Amino acid sequence: MNLKHQILLIAALPCIVFSCNNAGEKKTEHETAKNNTLSGTYRLLEAKTIKEKDTVTAFTDTAKTEMFKMFNDDHFSFFNHDKEMGKGKEPHFIAGGGTYSFDGKKYQERLQYCSLRDWESKKFDFELEFKGDTLIQRGEENLPELGVKHTIIETYLKIK
């Protein structure tokens, strides 16, 4: 093989290698969009609950309580607790997690585990909106067997 052919082969080799992708490693457009927009850790800034015509706005007092929500490729989890380690006037700890689906706007949680055990195995449909590092989650929690029917609007800030 002459020098000209060797140079052409060396120049073409990276193109050949990088153009041959393993089909198992390719991600769908949906998976790529989900990973780029949702994966991460978010801290709750504000929560609104609307029951019939009443709206209750609960600002998270970061001196007393905090809530985080985390997403990976296909699972979510959340943790909400008081910072007084359960020894204050209003002790609480709520946690849960499960799988989810997300198409860029419509988001469905399938709650597999929850410290409020009656909420386990339930599905919840929401819409997600992104404004920079801010995530806004809107939707209805409807559990007739528990007397729960309200709309929630939660605002989170992405921290990681």
Virtual torsion, Cα 100, 103, 104, 109, nearest 10 deg: -20
Q: Are 97 and 113 in contact (CB under 8 A)?
A: yes
Q: 80: which 2 tokens?
A: 């909400």
User: If DSSP codes are grouped into helix, strand and coil, which group holds residue 120?
Assistant: coil
| pLDDT above 80 (res 119) | yes
Of 27-41, 45-59, 88-102, 116-130, give the lowest mean pLDDT range.
Answer: 27-41
Q: Which is higher by pLDDT, 60 or 79?
A: 79
Average pLDDT over residues 149-160: 92
Average pLDDT over residues 89-97: 89
| pLDDT above 80 (res 159) | yes
Q: Which is higher by pLDDT, 49 or 75?
A: 75
Contacts 24+ apart (CB under 8 A), 120-125: 120/96
Q: Which is higher by pLDDT, 120 or 82?
A: 120
pLDDT of residue 118: 95
Q: How many CA atoms lie within 13 A of 33 on its CB side?
A: 11
Average pLDDT over residues 1-9: 52
pLDDT of residue 24: 47
